[in-house]
Amino acid sequence: MDLPRQFTIRESSHRVRNPIDEAKLATFGAALRLPPGSSVLDLACGSGELLCTWARDHGCTGLGVDISTVFLASARARAEELGVASQVSFVHADARGYVASAPVDVAACVGATWIGDGVEGTVSLLRQSLRPGGVMVVGEPYWRLPPPDQATIEGCDALHSETFTSLPELVERFGALGCDVVEMVLADQDSWDRFEGPKWLNLRRFLDANPDDDLADEFRAELRTAALNHVRYRREYLGWGVFALMDR
């Protein structure tokens, strides 16, 4: 059980594996005003930047769950680097259906709502780990502008675009689930650039070092279109946000 190599190579230099950059992640953590000792469960935690930096900055404790052994190794190294290894831990597991052993103050899934087959299922899953009065944190894309054609959808790599809505419609969906949106931080075009741009350099350097790798042809084809698709489609049409939700 692991992620395909494509993902770990493409994002080999990333600390935050979504377009909420490190500054925005810090802004969001501060906005939640978490008391020291708050417990956090982060499903599909990636390299653990949320848990590790919030443990350092706000005294949180937490558990991260991810399917990628490569990302988890980075998360554990980051915890050591920031001096929070005693506050956070990480487990290699499929986040689908994962429920904390004890209720937590914050239950998060930032950018991986596929673990619940969408927003509704993910909110339902997070609720199972949340203490009364706790906060759910959900990261999700939305359309900044309505996509005019199929080429735009494909250029945004919006594989599940049928579930994407506008930002107002996404907030309405949260409300229909019985949640108040109590905070949010949205990606902007610059943070999209900082998420997408490093992938291209990672791929290029991998190809230069491994020209005969099994993935080389796939990555060469990707590099031919990645930057153009980003500036023509994703940067203009696709939004992304992290939302804090509390049950009514």
pLDDT given for residue 160 in this prediction: 67
- Residue 34 reports pLDDT greater than 70: yes
- Residues 196-237: tens digit of each pLDDT: 999 999 999 999 999 999 999 999 999 999 999 999 999 999
Q: CA–CA separation, 119 vs 110, rounded Å?
A: 11
Q: Check: pTM over 0.85? Answer yes or no.
A: yes
pLDDT tens digits, 36-76:
999 999 999 999 999 999 999 999 999 999 999 999 999 99
- Look at residue 136 and tell me whether its pLDDT is greater than 90: yes
Retrieve residue 59's tokens.
Answer: 């005294």
pLDDT at position 247 over 90: yes
The CATH class of 5-141+176-203+241-245 is alpha beta
- Answer yes or no: are the C-beta atoms of 86 and 52 closer than 8 Å: no
Across the chain, the runs of DSSP E, i.e. the strands, are 39-43, 61-66, 88-92, 104-110, 130-143, 179-186, 238-247
What are 211's two structure tokens? 């020209």
For 138-158, what is the mean pLDDT? 93
> For residue range 74-125, what is the model confidence (pLDDT) as tens digits?
999 999 999 999 999 999 999 999 999 999 999 999 999 999 999 999 999 9
What are the residue ranges spanned by the domains of the chain? 5-141+176-203+241-245
Contacts of 44 (CB under 8 A, 6+ apart): 65, 66, 67, 95, 109, 110, 111, 112, 115
Residue 135 reports pLDDT greater than 90? yes
How far apart CA 141 and CA 153 sit, in angstroms, is: 13
Burial class of residue 136 (count of CB atoms within 10 Å of its CB; 0-12, 13-18, 19+): buried
Q: At 159, is the pLDDT very low, low, confident or very high (cuts 50, 70, 90)?
A: low
Residue 1 confidence (pLDDT): 78
Distance CA 96, CA 102 (A): 17
Q: How far is CA 241 from CA 48, 148, 174, 186, 193, in A?
A: 18, 22, 13, 4, 15
pLDDT for position 157 = 86
Residue 106: the pLDDT is: 98
Cα angle value 172/173/177 (rounded, 5°): 115
